[in-house]
Amino acid sequence: MGIKSSAPGNIFFFGEHAAVYGRPAICAAVGRRTEVRLRPNRKETIILNSEAFGKAEVSLSDGKIISSENAQLENVAAFARESAARFKISQGFELEINSEVPINSGMSSSTAVFCSVLGAISAFAQKTLDKSEYFRYVYPFQAKAHGGKASGSEIISSTFGGFNYIRKKKDGTPPELEAKYLGDHKFHIVVGNTRVESPTHLTVGYHVPSLIKRDPDLVNKAFDKIAAIAQSALAAIRDDNVVALGQLMNENQKILSGLGLSHPKLDDCINSALRAGALGAKLSGSGWGGIMFALCKAEDVGSVKDAIARTGAEPIETEVGVEGVTVKKSLF
């Protein structure tokens, strides 16, 4: 008997980077998920076995990392151990982590891992963790993964699923957030994975802070414009007005590009998608590579997919606005 938990990756329709500095973001959960299987064992350690990052082992009693094949996995091991300690778990267990979310791509692979690990561990401790509680547990580890700063938007999106408007009201660990569920919508998107790996800490922890230091006015004005775009997008989403939504996405992309957050391969995919009939296209997440996505009419999905594939990027046709974290006992 074990526990199976899963959480979705996310896209930012609007507001990445600006959200770290108190402006609103609109995120949506996508149909690419991370799955965690928890099996108890007879050891006094937690063993992590990740398809993408290899293995790690951490002591349950003192939190010492016994072994780790990857630095990113160490952060997950530390999170798993802290969660086990919080729920007073003294029995060892193994976490097998398999992810359909491309890593270091801006699709929130780390958030999907944290949320699914927390879901599995809380269920192992026979605690029903309310979805509203995930945020404060995951936030400090996500901030670390992002280079010391994070908006926390993706945690809300991965936990609750669907479409969410999120704004950081007050800094802190965790910060105070305002979050609004934006209802169910059937939008058609194609994600393009540029295959250019871009760890979030490069732009969040290094590039954007360096811009702010040199020209705070420029960055603040750009973030205020993004905030106004996200605000206008609320009506477009409410009315399922995909034409207006696409235009707003293009405006948001122009501003991100002006801040040096795009990448030649992202631009290649975005321009190709727009030429193939997409209503709007933008990078999503940290930028400098990773993913972009295009919003399309249903009849244009095939041609946009083909156009993205012709650039050499990986086109991913996926549902958007899917279910958040799920946890169930399982016979495996």
Q: Pick the stretch among 16-24, 54-62, 73-81, 170-178 that binds ligand MEV (CB under 6 A).
A: 16-24
Neighbours of 237 (CB within 10 A): 22
| Closest approach of ligand MEV to the CB of residue 68, in Å | 23
Q: CB–CB of 1/34 below 8 Å?
A: no
153/193 with CB nearer ligand MEV: 153
Q: Pick the stretch among 12-20, 54-62, 183-191, 209-217 that binds ligand MEV (CB under 6 A).
A: 12-20
3/261 with CB nearer ligand MEV: 261
The strand pairing partners of 3, in sequence order, are: 38, 329
Tell whether residue 29 is a contact of ligand MEV (CB under 6 A). no
CA distance 136 to 152: 9
Q: Hey, which residues between 113 and 152 contact ligand MEV (CB under 6 A)? A: 146, 150-151
Tell whether residue 106 is a contact of ligand MEV (CB under 6 A). yes
22/40 with CB nearer ligand MEV: 22
| Closest approach of ligand MEV to the CB of residue 20, in Å | 5
**Structure token digits, residue 157:** 């999106």
Interface pattern 287-316 for ligand MEV (x via CB under 6 A): ------------------------------
Tell whether residue 16 is a contact of ligand MEV (CB under 6 A). yes
Phi, psi of 5 (to 5 degrees): -135, 150
In 146-263, where does DSSP find H-type helix?
153-160, 200-202, 208-214, 216-238, 242-258
**Structure token digits, residue 50:** 């990740």
| Closest approach of ligand MEV to the CB of residue 260, in Å | 13
DSSP code of residue 62? T
Helices 71-86 and 109-124 sit at what angle, rounded to 10 degrees? 30
Query: Could you tell me the maximum CA-CA distance found in the chain, to the nearest angstrom?
Result: 58
The strand pairing partners of 193, in sequence order, are: 291, 314
108/164 with CB nearer ligand MEV: 108
Q: Are strands 188-193 and 54-59 parallel, antiparallel or unpaired?
A: unpaired
Out of 104, 109, 194, 286, point to the residue binding ligand MEV (CB under 6 A).
286
Identity of the amino acid at 272: S
**Structure token digits, residue 284:** 């999503």
Kind plus residue range of the DSSP H or E element containing 270: helix 264-275
10/45 with CB nearer ligand MEV: 10
Tell whether residue 252 is a contact of ligand MEV (CB under 6 A). no
Tell whether residue 102 is a contact of ligand MEV (CB under 6 A). no
Interface positions with ligand MEV (CB under 6 A): 16-17, 19-20, 106, 108, 146, 150-151, 153, 200, 204, 285-286
